[in-house]
Amino acid sequence: MPSLPAQTLAGGGSPTVVVGTYPDYAQAQKAVDTLSDNKFPVERTAIIGTDLRLIENVLGRVTVARAALAGAASGAWFGLFVGLLFGLFSDSSWFAVILVCLLIGAAWGAVFGAIAHAATGGRRDFASRSSIQAGQYAVVTDPEVAEQARQLLVSLNWQASGAQ
């Protein structure tokens, strides 16, 4: 079913009208905040990111030693947790129980971290962080209130530029 460029179908099936597009999320959020400050019914708006892309930033190389170190760190945290639980119900030295559990957790974490990395066979020898970013952000409203939203946003732009 064809639609006008300024309209799109929302998840609920009701048409929404684009009242502004912005290059970043902060500006789209500021536009909706301005609408809210001017008593606009913001529950009838949405911010829609378009032109989505996945960006994966490579943080560094992962070796068996680094995988073992990361495993030891997470194992130590788990060992600390178990040690605290055991320490509550132990008759022996509370600190010694925590320390032993922490060391055992770190050792097992290192072993499992190294084995898990070695099992990948070198298919993923790097660490990364992924994020999804949009090329632009559209502020959309219901058709009944779209003109009111446009007028408020135009007056915001004029005030920002110093025009009267």
Looking at residue 12, its pLDDT comes to 53
pTM of the model: 0.57
Tokens 């119900």 -> residue: 89
Query: How would you label 9-41 residue by residue, b for 16+ Cβ within 10 Å and e otherwise?
Result: eeeeeeebbbbbebeeeeebeebbebbeeeebe
What is the pLDDT, as a whole number, of residue 16?
85
| Whole-number pLDDT of residue 159 | 55
Longest dimension (CA), the chain: 78
Neighbours of 51 (CB within 10 A): 9
Structure tokens at 116: 């898990």
* CA separation for the pair 109, 70 (Å, rounded): 8
Query: Got the DSSP string for 79-120?
Result: HHHHHHHHHHT-SS-HHHHHHHHHHHHHHHHHHHHHHHHHHT
Q: Residue 136 and residue 22: Cα distance in Å, rounded?
A: 6
Q: How far apart are CA 21 and CA 49, in angstroms?
A: 10
**Closest-CA residue to 80 (of 111, 116, 109):** 109
Beta bridge partners of 7: 17
Question: What is the mean pLDDT of each successive set of 10 residues along the chain, which is 164 residues long?
Answer: 45 70 91 90 92 94 94 96 90 89 97 94 89 93 91 73 44
Residue 15: predicted pLDDT: 56
